[in-house]
Amino acid sequence: MSDLRLSLTDRCNLRCFYCMPRAHYSWLAKTDVLSFEEISALVSLFLSLGIRKLRLTGGEPLVRKGLAKLVHLLAQKPQLEDFALTTNGVELAPLALPLKEAGLHRLNISLDSLQPKRFEQISKRNSLHQVLLGIDAATQAGFPKKLKLDTVVIRGFNDDELPALLQFANERNAEIRFIEYMDVAGAVDWSSEQVVSQQEMLQRIENNFGPTLPLEEIHTAPAKRYQLANGTTFGIIASTSSPFCDKCNRVRLSADGKLFPCLYANEGLDLKKELRTNKTSPQLQQLITSFWKQRTEKGAAQRLLSKNRRAFKTEKELLENPHLEMHKRGG
């Protein structure tokens, strides 16, 4: 366990169809969401267990009030080597500088299209302009680590935009990562026909920019990185066609304190309950350690074996167990 993804909220100001497609959403009760003090205590605990990389996510983390204060609190923790936040960028313009000043190392901004109509078709909100302002603000803020842009590539929606997105990222000194469309819970309309594989993405990029050079992989990072002849680098995250479960060292904490060993896990460990019943730090450490040791999930690899692969969970199953949804457990 070296990498913690911590969801600050299940709420979001977009409705990306590949993540939360239902017409009616159930939100977590405010009293169930971890407070800043609880988050800080849990992060300290995870750091004591070997976590070195922390990524704040959601839902949309920027809709959590007082975020810069929380970032400041967490950035003080000495063992933290990599401290990032993933955002859709809608609320980023006024927050980029305060987040950098609070001690955040790096931002990942999701960007699925540069075309306003398409952006709206995917996210059901007309917010591309705000996202672009957010990206500009992030570039100007000058975070210590390079800005990353993340694109979920979906056939028939945005798969013709790879060259334009690559160029856009390059002009802003950001690195783009193209993500294969995953059948995570929440993506109820997922179909294998809509997945553009890593191989096909590479082919399309090479058709536009010439040969690509694969770069050495770093640690357990899921992205395979490549370089174009002009030096531009980019990544592809092939979680669907080529899962990295065997190398996964990542643990996820939902906004209401449930610990999941995998994006596809059905069950989590209720750490909020344990924290609120005043378990001591050694007791909590013991619980987390044995939970992690006993994990058997290799969700993406197991999904690869399924025949006639369709969406992982139906809308009915999600209504019965909303904790399964991507925006609940944090992508």
Closest approach of Cβ 6 to ligand SAM, in Å?
Answer: 11
Candidate segments 137-145, 175-183, 214-222, 228-236, binder of ligand SAM by CB under 6 A: 175-183
How far is it, in rounded angstroms, from Cα 109 to Cα 100? 14
From 19, 95, 162, 195, residue interacting with ligand SF4 (rule: CB under 6 A): 19
Neighbours of 146 (CB within 10 A): 11
Q: Is residue 87 a contact point for ligand SAM (CB under 6 A)?
A: yes
Contacts of ligand SF4 in 67-126 (CB under 6 A): 88
Closest approach of Cβ 184 to ligand SAM, in Å?
Answer: 5
Alpha carbons within 13 angstroms on the beta-carbon side of residue 192 total: 10
x-marked contacts with ligand SF4 along 21-60 as a string, rule CB under 6 A: -------------------------------------xxx
Q: Is residue 150 a contact point for ligand SAM (CB under 6 A)?
A: yes
Cα separation of the two ends of the chain: 17
The identity of residue 259, as a single letter, is: L
Residue 22 in 3-state DSSP? coil
Binding-site size for ligand SF4 (CB under 6 A) equals 11
Closest approach of Cβ 327 to ligand SAM, in Å?
Answer: 5
Given ligand SF4, ligand SAM, none, residue 20, with its beta carbon under 5 to 8 Å by kind, binds ligand SF4
Whether the CB-CB separation of 19 and 187 falls below 8 Å is answered with: yes
Q: Is residue 14 a contact point for ligand SF4 (CB under 6 A)?
A: yes
How far is it, in rounded angstroms, from Cα 75 to Cα 247? 27
DSSP 251-318: EEE-TTSEEESSTT-S--EEHHHHHHTT--HHHHHHHHHHHHHT----HHHHHHT-TT---SS-HHHH
Q: Is residue 20 a contact point for ligand SF4 (CB under 6 A)?
A: yes
Give the single-character DSSP code of 64: S
The strand ranges marked E within the chain are 3-7, 53-57, 82-87, 106-110, 148-153, 175-180, 212-214, 224-228, 233-237, 250-253, 258-260, 269-270
From 9, 110, 158, 254, residue interacting with ligand SAM (rule: CB under 6 A): 110
- Is 126 or 207 the residue whose CB approaches ligand SF4 more closely? 126
- Is 45 or 71 the residue whose CB approaches ligand SAM more closely? 71
Give the single-character DSSP code of 211: -
From 9, 88, 158, 254, residue interacting with ligand SAM (rule: CB under 6 A): 88
Which residues contact ligand SF4 by CB under 6 A?
12, 14-16, 19-20, 58-60, 88, 327
Which residues contact ligand SAM by CB under 6 A?
12, 18-19, 57-58, 60, 86-88, 110, 150, 152, 179, 181-182, 184, 187, 326-327, 331
